[in-house]
Amino acid sequence: MPNKASPVFAVVGHPNKGKSSIVSTLSHNDNIQISSRSGTTENADHYTVNTQQGSYDLVDTPGFQRPVKVLAWLEQHCSSANERALAVAMFVKDPECQQLFKDEVALLEPIVAGAAILYVVDGSRPYGVEYEAEMEILRWTGQPSMALINPIENSDYIEEWNNALAQYFKSVRVFNPMKAEFEKHIELLQTFTHLNPAWAQTLSEIIQDLQDKRLQQQAFSVSILSQLIDDLCQYEICQKVLTQAQAKTVQPILDRQYKEWMKQREQSAVKKLLDNYAHFQTQVSLEQFDLPPDLFDCDQWFAWGLNKKQLVVAATAAGAVSGAALDAAVAGSSFMLGSIGGGLIGAGSAWFGADKIVDIKIKGLPIGGYQACVGPIKNRNFPYVVIGRFIHLYRQISQLNHANRQNLNISTSDFQDKVESLEKSAQKELNRACERLIKQKPVDNLEAILTPLFSTK
């Protein structure tokens, strides 16, 4: 049962207008059933949003089914305005009504018990008089209320709805549960504070908590990436064998195991990122998430979600290559990796040289026998690829509303813009850090260096 002092909001309306979607997004719960079939929500379900200092409840309700008949019942049982709220209370307790008007009883019960009303309509469908009976019923309850226009497909009828809703509700807002950004969730909660002055204090604390939590989630995302790069850059797999021939045989097996480990490690980081934002149902497609079949082929890295220009820009952020040289390299050559390494920067300091990407060695051991090893990764692009993929996913996951149940892909990346928008000194720091990582040297302040990449601006 909800705490007496904690605010309760009943989300009500016609079937299929996005009530469950709004509850899902505002409660950060991706386990709430959303369906194009109407009548999916059969009972009033309470979802408690717990924060550091407080909590509030959202009640997902079944849609109105027979509002005209319900209003007729209410009118029959009440002759003056001061008894209207009482008539609604009688209605939900009436055994016959409970049978005849199951949905209306379920949706009105929490309101009779003290919940504020969030009335949801679809701004992409025209307004119609058939909504008036349900709005009238809600008015009869006498509870604080607000209308939310959900532009499900478009915003075509928002104005029409605004005019109609203003007749019944003091506060009318547009809110899209699929797309609304975090700031919009907060804005909406802020307007809730006006619904019932008794809840204003609690809601303000909750808003502060949610904003703090958002920053913590960002900081945790940075640390997930920081550990991921560190692990991926360090990883090495070795096997002791007796003869050099055995070492050669074991090499491709190690190679496979190495790649598998790298893949798994990245996937576990993504899982952590999803958990961090309470997305427990979202899938990141495995195919799209595969490492390139041949990790030793630089060209394949583009499949990781960074295009050529992005790779060049990322790796030359400190200004190793001029803009003109960059354009020439990107435009002029499909074999840019090789040509930049050999031609533009000089073979000696090849950024993109098709030289060894991963160390592969077979060593004679002093106690006899041999050791075959794969790793660690040597290519200077590698940390950028890892960062680019992760940031791309971070942006999608941190912005993903819980009503939005689409799966994620990592086929494109806007990493390039992000690196370019960093201050020059930050770029240099990032560059230096990547250089050290690839040499398996520690970077003490890696999280601080990565943090600017996670800013939402």
Q: By CB under 5 A, tell whether 29 contacts Mg ion.
A: no
Indicate the angle between helix axes 323-332 and 308-315, nearest 10 degrees.
150
Q: By CB under 6 A, tell whether 35 contacts ligand GDP.
A: yes
Q: By CB under 6 A, tell whether 17 contacts ligand GDP.
A: yes
Q: What character string, x for contact with Mg ion (CB under 5 A) and - otherwise, covers 30-69?
A: -----------x----------------------------
Contact by Cβ (8 Å): 443, 229: no
DSSP 168: T
Residue 4 φ then ψ, to 5°: -60, -40
Which residues make beta-bridge pairs with 50? 55
Q: By CB under 6 A, tell whether 10 contacts ligand GDP.
A: no
Q: By CB under 6 A, tell whether 427 contacts ligand GDP.
A: no
For residues 419 and 316, give the distance between their C-alpha atoms in angstroms, rounded to a whole number.
10
**Which of 10, 59, 138, 178 is the binder for ligand GDP (CB under 6 A)?**
178
Contact by Cβ (8 Å): 390, 230: no
Contact by Cβ (8 Å): 412, 428: no
Minimum distance from residue 61 beta carbon to Mg ion (Å) = 8
| Binding site partner of 63, from ligand GDP, Mg ion, none, Cβ cut-off 5-8 A by kind | ligand GDP
Q: Angle 417-422-428 (CA atoms, 0-180°, nearest 5)?
A: 115
**Which of 7, 17, 18, 20 is the binder for Mg ion (CB under 5 A)?**
20
Q: What character string, x for contact with ligand GDP (CB under 6 A) and - otherwise, covers 125-164?
A: -------------------------x-x------------
Query: Toward Mg ion, which CB reaches closer, 43 or 267?
Result: 43
Task: Tokens 């300091």: give the residue.
Answer: 349
Minimum distance from residue 14 beta carbon to Mg ion (Å) = 11
Instruction: Give the number of C-alpha atoms closer than 13 A to the C-alpha of residue 225, restricted to the C-beta side.
Output: 29
**Residue 162, token pair as written in the block:** 């605004």
Q: By CB under 6 A, tell whether 21 contacts ligand GDP.
A: yes
Give SS3 for 96.
Answer: helix
**Which of 19, 279, 402, 418 is the binder for ligand GDP (CB under 6 A)?**
19
Under the rule (CB under 6 A), what is the footprint of ligand GDP? 15-21, 34-36, 38, 40-41, 63, 150, 152, 176-178
